[in-house]
Amino acid sequence: MPYLTTNDSVQLFYKDWGNVTGPPVFLSHGWPLNSDNWENQMFFLANQGYRAVAYDRRGHGRSDQPWFGNDVDTWAGDIAQIIEELDLKDTILIGHSTGGGDITRYVTNHGSERVKGMVLIDTITPYIIQTPETPNGVPISVFDSFRDAMLKDRSYFFQQVPSGPFFGYNRPGVKPSQGQIDSWWAQGMQAGFKATYDTTFSWETDFREEMKKIDFPVLVIHGDDDQVVPFKAGGAENLKYLKNATLKVYEGGPHGLPNVEIDGINNDILNFSKSLG
């Protein structure tokens, strides 16, 4: 299995699927998951001739679990090392939830020379905390309750999140997939406690000013029934700061779009890539 050793001696696991000479896509997962959560997108894109690369963020999945470095800047540096090590060029960056934050910070910290476009799916950008200036954001007390729940019983909390708001299984008429719930829980419990706890603070990051520096094409995808990152806090808000972005809305879509709208998301990414030439 491929691993990369970072500058601070952390072993990062990554997957490299498909045509090694094909157009590259780099996928960054949400919390508290790992690259396995992208398997449907990676399999689809690899079969379309793409080189699909995804990593397990430090502290998650099969990567090491260091005590320090569970923050957006460090993750951006980790991504930079992988992209440079594999010599990916004209890359399409794809991020879901927390993963949208670290690929954004990768661009603003390390440049866009290797980037062709970006896809943000239900991401924590541009700024999702509720303030007088951002009344549609998430109250900080919600994230405090997440942290309290993890300290009390992480395993139980990691059952409740996918059983309810993450996939929208708490909505009337929505049939839950026990397989999706079990997979989410297993990935979450494979991650380190410190990393999953620390990552919740990354959701308080304000990306608005740095997003103004991004001028390449960006596809923003958001479900309008996202109970984790509310549509009015994310979604079209990203377009206020990005110079060259389009929005795709999934009506009634939950936070876990890559898992519950597999065909739609796969084709959104493919069509976006083809539109870039």
Catalytic residue among 97, 122, 202, 268: 97
Of 266, 274, 270, 211, residue with least CA distance to 244: 211
Residue type, 59: G
**Does residue 210 contact residue 102 with C-beta atoms inside 8 Å?**
no
Q: What would you report as the CA-atom Rg of the chain, rounded to the nearest whole angstrom? A: 17
User: How many CA atoms, within 13 angstroms, populate the side-chain half-sphere of residue 58?
Assistant: 27
Q: Is the dihedral of CA 67, 191, 235, 230 positive or negative?
A: negative
**Which residues does residue 16 pair with via DSSP β-bridges, in sequence order?**
53
Exposure string for 92-121, b = 16+ CB within 10 A, e = fewer? bbbbbbbbbbbbbbbbbebebebbbbbbbb
**Does residue 22 contact residue 52 with C-beta atoms inside 8 Å?**
no
**Which residues does residue 17 pair with via DSSP β-bridges, in sequence order?**
52
Can 60 be counted among the known catalytic residues?
no
Catalytic residue among 56, 64, 102, 226: 226
Q: Tokens for 167, please give them.
A: 């996939």
End-to-end CA distance of the chain: 32
Can 163 be counted among the known catalytic residues?
no
Residue type, 51: R
d(CA 79, CA 85): 10
Catalytic residue among 63, 255, 268, 273: 255
Can 273 be counted among the known catalytic residues?
no
The answer to whether the bond into 32 is cis (omega within 30° of 0) is yes
Exposure string for 207-220, b = 16+ CB within 10 A, e = fewer? beebbeebebbbbb
Residues with active-site annotation: 97, 226, 255
